[in-house]
A = this chain, B = another copy of it.
């Protein structure tokens, strides 16, 4: 079309590859970005590119870090014997926001998904086993998502490491705090009942 300005279309096409950003939003963002002062756009592009270049995976736990090891693994106080297994670095950030957990993490880099051809060898499970044999771990907390793939991954890892004599726990399922029972699904309600505690 006559009015389609190619650099804007190219920008919109790139933005539309981001999760949750559709064609229309990408178009709107591209027009907005093009109307910004050059220095602001440079800051944005530089933050994206330099951010990507600065970040790598922690050699120990697989979390994002700027250094060889992430700040959690580097912190001696965090090595309290607890190791929390999560799917990806975003989950580490979520758990850290809680400011309650004081152990270390192990990032799997995904969850088992036979449908998508993701098997145990595609996750950082070998690295987990190696850590259990070298580090002083007393409890492995399986904090993968409470969905089918997360459950399957947790079950798989639990079976694998229980024989090693380490305590293996799974995060609790139940109704989220602040939510409404009426809107909870049956499986969640069943889990909430099953996991009930005396008050």
Instruction: Tell yes or no: A179 within 8 A of B by CB.
Output: no
Question: How many angstroms between the C-alpha atoms of A13 and B40 in the bound complex?
Answer: 12
A99 CB within 8 Å of chain B? yes
User: Within the assembled complex, what's the spacing in Å between the Cα atoms of A7 and B56?
Assistant: 11
With contact pairs A5-B65, A14-B43, A96-B2 given, residues A51 and B32 touching in the complex (Cβ less than 8 Å):
no
- A1-31, CB < 8 A from B: 1-8, 10-11, 13-15, 17-21, 25, 27-31
Tell me the bound Cα distance from A71 to B30 in angstroms.
19
Whole-angstrom CA separation of A75 from B75 in the bound complex? 65
Taken together as a complex, chains A and B put the C-alpha atoms of A22 and B18 apart, in Å, by: 15
* A49 beta carbon closer than 8 Å to chain B: yes
A1 to B100, CA, bound (A): 12
Interface size band for A: 35 or more
Q: Is the CB of A33 within 8 A of B52?
A: yes
Residues of chain B within 8 A of A64, CB atoms compared: 5, 8, 31, 34
A72 within 8 A of B: yes
A92 to B5, CA, bound (A): 11
* Chain B residues, CB < 8 A from A99: 1
Q: Is A66 touching B28 in the complex (CB atoms < 8 A)?
A: no
20 contacts between A and B (CB under 8 A): A1-B96, A2-B71, A2-B96, A3-B92, A3-B96, A6-B66, A7-B47, A7-B54, A7-B55, A7-B66, A8-B55, A13-B47, A14-B43, A14-B44, A14-B47, A18-B29, A18-B44, A27-B93, A33-B48, A33-B52
